[in-house]
Structure 1
Amino acid sequence: MPARQRADARRNYARILAVAEEEVATRGADASLEQIARTAGVGSATVRRHFPTRRALLEAVSQTQIEALCARARDLAAGDGDSRTALLDWLGDVVAYSASIRGLAAALAHDGAGPDSLHENSCTAALEEAGNPLLHRAIGDGAVQADVTFAELITLVVGIALATESHPDPAAQADRLFRLAVAGLSPG
């Protein structure tokens, strides 16, 4: 949020964001924007002025966790451990976070409108910037197929999160599906 906004606008933004974090944690990414406005004590127009789209609100709510995932990616990339393990550990964390809140996968999904649509999503763009070094290192080490793209990895994460939203234990099921996707169908 721009620092040059009026003090009341900054307070409204902070209050809306705090309420949105609670609502999204309780009701998922489809939390009512009208309820968020009522609970925050502001009008719907004020919520829309600060967050013109649901995606913008979800990105703001997700910012702290996305920053933590990016920091973890940078730490893993700076390490000298096995590149495939580092990439898969980090992707596992992204899967776990994506499955943690019903509907959150929509905040990571790109709309497919064009080759750069992935970059119109600040959460995914930040993850891509942080995760690409892990992917490129694993590709360079021959531990991952050379034609794998970050967009494909995010699509896999989003698909798993969407597929497990209604499961009684979405995090556990998402982890199982991610491990199955990585290991393939071959035994042992």
Structure 2
Amino acid sequence: MNEGGQDSGRTARSVKRADARRNEKTLLAAAAEVFVTSGVEAPIRDIATKAGVGTATIYRHFPSRADLIVAVYRHQVEALAEAGPDLLATSATPHAALGRWMDLFVDFLVTKLGLAAVLQSDDPCFDPLHSYFLDRLLPVCTQLLDTAAGAGEIRPGQDAYELMRGVASLCAGAGDNPRYDSRRLVALLIAGLRG
């Protein structure tokens, strides 16, 4: 095959890979929405309908429900991890970036896509998810805290793990109680970090 033929073959594969990645992101977004409203045991056909694809397409990307749940969880964690640096670049102050990121973190924790029970299951395929969560999000939270401290907006020496555990504990109490506003409590906590 000539050089031009090889280039067009590589281009076709690149386009196909880009399409596959786009399709996978669409499936993950649809699954996340369905999991929020119906839980992780929602019928695959509901996810397929939401994504505008057939169920075979979902099974081609994610052979089992566990594969889909893990992929959705990782996708949500990645979005949260990527948001930190973006917020630092676009927010008026580092403290504002920290507050906005914590809002996203609260959304993740409160609407954790029905994953709380899954993460406590005996299925070993879910074991690495907690470590993945910490590995991806602790550095982001640390960066936000360090930047805000460096700007003199919060007291230095704040521990990201401790803060994230505290926020998670505040969110755990939310349930369906309309008188319990975890977002308001987290905002008070973040305001209290000011020096």
TM-score for both structures, normalised by structure 1: 0.56
> 1:144 is matched with which residue?
155
| 1:75 to 1:9, Cα distance in 2 relative to 1, 3 A | closer
Q: Secondary structure at the residue paired with 2:34?
A: helix
* Counterparts of 1:23 and 1:167, CA distance in 2: 22
Deviations 1:128-147 (A, max 9, x none): 4443233113444383252x
The AA in structure 2 aligned to 1:73 is L
Residue 86 of structure 2 corresponds to residue 71 of structure 1: yes
The AA in structure 2 aligned to 1:31 is V
* Counterparts of 2:79 and 2:34, CA distance in 1: 16
Residue 44 of structure 2 corresponds to residue 36 of structure 1: yes
* Counterparts of 2:21 and 2:190, CA distance in 1: 44
Q: Is the Cα–Cα contact under 8 Å of residues 66 and 126 in structure 1 kept in the other structure?
A: yes
* Counterparts of 2:70 and 2:179, CA distance in 1: 25
The structure 2 residue matched to 1:120, chosen from 125, 128, 132, is 132
Q: Secondary structure at the residue paired with 2:147?
A: helix
* Counterparts of 1:94 and 1:14, CA distance in 2: 19
- For structure 2, which runs of at least 5 residues remain unmatched after alignment? 1-13, 49-54, 120-128
| 1:135 to 1:118, Cα distance in 2 relative to 1, 3 A | farther
TM-score for both structures, normalised by structure 2: 0.55
User: What's the CA shift for 1:174?
Assistant: 1.3
Deviations 1:50-104 (A, max 9, x none): 963634322325644653454113434xx6x4x5x33652354234423552556
- For structure 1, which runs of at least 5 residues remain unmatched after alignment? 110-116
The AA in structure 2 aligned to 1:42 is A
Q: Is the Cα–Cα contact under 8 Å of residues 70 and 127 in structure 1 kept in the other structure?
A: no
> 1:59 is matched with which residue?
74
* Counterparts of 1:72 and 1:105, CA distance in 2: 26
Q: Secondary structure at the residue paired with 1:165?
A: coil
* Counterparts of 2:105 and 2:20, CA distance in 1: 35
Q: Whose Rg is larger?
A: 2
The structure 2 residue matched to 1:132, chosen from 123, 128, 142, is 142
> 2:165 is matched with which residue?
155
* Counterparts of 2:22 and 2:102, CA distance in 1: 36
User: What's the CA shift for 1:23?
Assistant: 0.5
The AA in structure 2 aligned to 1:89 is G
> 1:90 is matched with which residue?
100
Aligned length: 161
| 1:133 to 1:61, Cα distance in 2 relative to 1, 3 A | closer
